Chains A and B, each alone.
Chain A
Amino acid sequence: MTAVPVPSTTAGVDEVVAVIVLLSEFAMLRAPLLRSQVRLYAFQSLAVVALAVVVAATRHVGDLYALAALSFVLKVVIVPAVMMRLLRGTDVDLTGSPVLGAATMTLIALGVTAFGFFAVGSLHVHSKLLPSAALAIAVAVVLVAFVLIVLRSDVVSQAMGFFSLENGVSVVSLVIAAGLPLVLEVAFLFDLLVAVVVFGIIMRVHHGRAKTLLTDDLDRLRG
């Protein structure tokens, strides 16, 4: 009855978690509240942590448990908490009205996703261990994060787009190179930490000067 070989349960679970990461990226695309944006990021990071645990358990890579714990503390707890704190300092609730409607953005993101899928498909990366769908989905996450950064015009969405881009990269590194040395993985996380500090300062300074989080006003040169 089955026409196409069903993926093994392990690969299937990997891919389903990757799909959840992608779906939360789509949800971020249409989230109207800054707070829900941050919450979705926390949820997405939780999915990445879950993926790390699954990969650690199925491929017996002990290091990944440490990475999962570290990512959990950083990406699910600390970063969202810092962003929420910064948001409480401002009195802005809504994201900037996006250039396009939510339905249009979804369609654009779908197109970009399809592009990512076929781009990865045409690379012909094949391996027994590699769940090829998960790789393509992770690339799609990165691309949709770009769409989010480009189409949203407020600092928080752009920061969240950047952070979730890092989530996409994490998924890639988990499915392709589960045995990546822990030091490198931690270096990625450190990158994220720097980005949080930078975006935090931008939010503070921009809100302090312009009383808004929109980047639309930043279109004139000063000097």
Chain B
Amino acid sequence: MELGVIAPVGVQALQVATIVIAAPLVSGAISHAEGRLQGRRGPRILQPYYDLAKLFRKETLVTEESSWVFLAGPVVAFGCYLIVPLLIPVLTTYGLPLGYMGDILGGGFVLALAGFSVALAGTESGAPYAQLGGSRAMTFGALIEPTILFVVFAVALITSTDLPYALAATVRSSSEIVRPSHVLAAVAFFLVVLVDTGRIPVETHTGTLELGMIDEARTLEHSGPALALLKWGSAMKQLILYTILINVFVAPWGLASSGSPLAVVGAVGALIGKAILLGLVFAVIDNLFSKLRLFKITEFLAAAFGIAVLAVLVFYVGSA
């Protein structure tokens, strides 16, 4: 059957579209699974889409103290989340035209810019809890940064480049998956994802317990379309991080190796399936552990940092 080939630019656009469209689905599936695990029926899997549609219809309320930054923050963040899928292997094994525009660090910077603009918008609201969330998010973001750097170092040592495509290719083509420094880097990155998506040992992502909130508190003052963009953005960030963990570190299989429509559609399905499976793991973790006290989070981050440093050290010993 000849179906022709999708041009690389088209695949690239599809990468972004997949992340944008599938992100609410993945978070919906996770909260549904969480509900089931807790003995509730859980929200509908498509609920996040309804929430977004509702929020986009509502009016935007702005506090008197805030300036244009308050409204620009969510838009900038959303734009950042649109850029990152260009840089990482979402659907393909081969690099796409803009795929080499930036490396892992570049993607990390864009994600950091998104986090920064949301925190800034929260701080700009003048509301105490949003400011608290913004300052906490920045603090813990700074503390997790060394871990991310060391994960990148490990990747760079293994592949002698820090392009995500290169590591994914290495994992696919060899017994790389059992190399200890790779395993450690993957574990460290898993912990980073746990922190960055505001999951249980660090933060309860549901509920309104302001004193324990970090990421969630930043958006307390936003409403209407701005809030919708923030929610959508955080779902996209979650899916982006899942995609990096899956398609770069753990299971880069099921990706399209050519532009044939069948392969690309298969890759979309595979990505969503794998992301939901990974989400189930996070849902189980959510139910198994309790939230750490705020001042104990540094210990968790220290553990993640330790694992990432070990990844680099073990690499040197293994290749000595």
Taken residue by residue from 106 to 148, chain A's Cβ proximity to chain B (1 for < 8 Å, 0 otherwise) reads as: 1101100110010011000000000111001100000000000
- A132–B318 contact, CB under 8 A? yes
- B313–A106 contact, CB under 8 A? no
Point out the residues of chain B lying under 8 angstroms from A56, CB to CB: none
Given A15-B314, A15-B318, do A3 and B160 touch, yes or no (CB 8 Å)?
A: yes
Point out the residues of chain B lying under 8 angstroms from A106, CB to CB: 299, 302-303, 305-306
Point out the residues of chain B lying under 8 angstroms from A26, CB to CB: 303, 306
Point out the residues of chain B lying under 8 angstroms from A22, CB to CB: 310
Is residue A58 contacting chain B, with contact meaning CB distance below 8 A? no
Given A3-B159, A137-B314, do A103 and B298 touch, yes or no (CB 8 Å)?
A: yes
B175 to A, closest residue via Cβ: A9
Within 8 A of A (CB), among B164-193: 166, 169-170, 173-176, 178-180, 183-184
Closest 8 CB pairs of A and B: A12-B178, A3-B160, A133-B318, A103-B302, A136-B317, A15-B180, A9-B175, A121-B320
- B302–A102 contact, CB under 8 A? yes
Is residue A151 contacting chain B, with contact meaning CB distance below 8 A? no
Within 8 A of B (CB), among A84-120: 101-103, 106-107, 109-110, 113-114, 117, 120
Is residue B250 contacting chain A, with contact meaning CB distance below 8 A? no
- A2–B180 contact, CB under 8 A? no
- Residue from the set B161, B299, B310, B318 with the largest chain A CB neighbour count within 10 Å: B318
Point out the residues of chain A lying under 8 angstroms from B83, CB to CB: none
Point out the residues of chain B lying under 8 angstroms from A19, CB to CB: 180, 183-184, 310, 314
Least Cβ–Cβ distance between A200 and chain B, in angstroms: 31
Given A1-B170, A6-B175, A132-B318, do A16 and B180 touch, yes or no (CB 8 Å)?
A: yes
Please report B residues at the A interface, Cβ cutoff 8 Å: 157-161, 166, 169-170, 173-176, 178-180, 183-184, 298-299, 302-303, 305-307, 309-310, 313-314, 316-320
| In-complex Cβ contact of B302 among A2, A107, A120, A131 (8 A) | A107
Point out the residues of chain A lying under 8 angstroms from B320, CB to CB: 121, 132
- B299–A30 contact, CB under 8 A? yes
Give the complex CA separation of A178 and B315 in angstroms. Answer: 24
Q: Could you list some 15 contacts between A and B, CB below 8 A?
A: A3-B161, A4-B160, A6-B170, A7-B178, A15-B314, A19-B184, A19-B310, A19-B314, A22-B310, A26-B306, A103-B299, A103-B302, A113-B313, A133-B318, A137-B314
Least Cβ–Cβ distance between B219 and chain A, in angstroms: 30
Give the complex CA separation of A9 and B169 in angstroms. Answer: 17
| In-complex Cβ contact of B174 among A2, A3, A16, A113 (8 A) | A2
- A2–B159 contact, CB under 8 A? yes
Is residue A23 contacting chain B, with contact meaning CB distance below 8 A? yes
Point out the residues of chain B lying under 8 angstroms from A121, CB to CB: 316-317, 320
Is residue A46 contacting chain B, with contact meaning CB distance below 8 A? no
Point out the residues of chain A lying under 8 angstroms from B317, CB to CB: 117, 120-121, 132-133, 136-137
- B313–A117 contact, CB under 8 A? yes
Give the complex CA separation of A16 and B175 in angstroms. Answer: 12
Least Cβ–Cβ distance between B193 and chain A, in angstroms: 18
Point out the residues of chain B lying under 8 angstroms from A109, CB to CB: 306
- Residue from the set B299, B317, B320 with the largest chain A CB neighbour count within 10 Å: B317
Within 8 A of B (CB), among A1-46: 1-9, 12-13, 15-16, 18-19, 22-23, 26, 30
- A110–B306 contact, CB under 8 A? yes
Point out the residues of chain B lying under 8 angstroms from A12, CB to CB: 175, 178-180
Point out the residues of chain A lying under 8 angstroms from B176, CB to CB: 2, 6
Give the complex CA separation of A6 and B313 in angstroms. Answer: 16
Give the complex CA separation of A136 and B314 in angstroms. Answer: 8
Point out the residues of chain B lying under 8 angstroms from A23, CB to CB: 307, 310
- B313–A7 contact, CB under 8 A? no
Least Cβ–Cβ distance between B240 and chain A, in angstroms: 24
- A7–B179 contact, CB under 8 A? yes
Least Cβ–Cβ distance between A135 and chain B, in angstroms: 8
Least Cβ–Cβ distance between B189 and chain A, in angstroms: 15
Least Cβ–Cβ distance between B83 and chain A, in angstroms: 25
Give the complex CA separation of A103 and B173 in angstroms. Answer: 37
Point out the residues of chain A lying under 8 angstroms from B179, CB to CB: 6-7, 12, 15
Give the complex CA separation of A110 and B313 in angstroms. Answer: 10
- A13–B178 contact, CB under 8 A? yes
A122 to B, closest residue via Cβ: B320
Give the complex CA separation of A7 and B319 in angstroms. Answer: 9
- B180–A114 contact, CB under 8 A? no
